[in-house]
Amino acid sequence: MAFIHPLVILAAVICGIYTGTLGWKRFQYKRGKAPASAFPWQRHIRWGRRFIILLWIGSLIGIGYVLYKTGPALTTGLHASVGILILILFSIGTSFGLLLSKKKGTDRLASVHMGINYGTFIIVAVQIVLGVLLLTFFYPG
């Protein structure tokens, strides 16, 4: 049961990385280093939706598992706190992406969307290490 959360989160991270590579193509286009056709806008949106849905599902599974096993939701300490921060940041970044998909944003908003999401992936790298440490604590050997 404890391994369902990391597997779903891993799927979310893979979707997020792929979405980020698609978004990078837009960044390259805006800097004059790629043609406009290089940015697959619809695919970027589809994979971004998959990413945020999987992220929330994986997080809820993790919270549910901790509630089932130990009671209070924040007993995993820093892993839980960083997870909440990640959810908040990616949700903000996604909401900016929704505005952009409805053509209600500027290049500045696109840069903020990209900065929040790419920056949060740095925190995700730390979170993965914390999660592995947590698994080795709960499942030694």
What sign does the dihedral 69-121-26-101 (CA atoms) show? Answer: positive
Question: Rounded CA gap, 134 and 60, in Å?
Answer: 17
- Over residues 35-62, the pLDDT tens digits come to 888 889 999 999 999 999 999 999 999 9
Taking 80 as the threshold, does the pLDDT of residue 141 lie above it? no
**Closest by alpha carbon to 94, among 111, 67, 117?**
117
pLDDT at 36: 81
| Distance separating alpha carbons of residues 61 and 42, to the nearest angstrom | 29
For 95-117, the pLDDT digits (tens) are 999 999 998 888 899 999 999 99
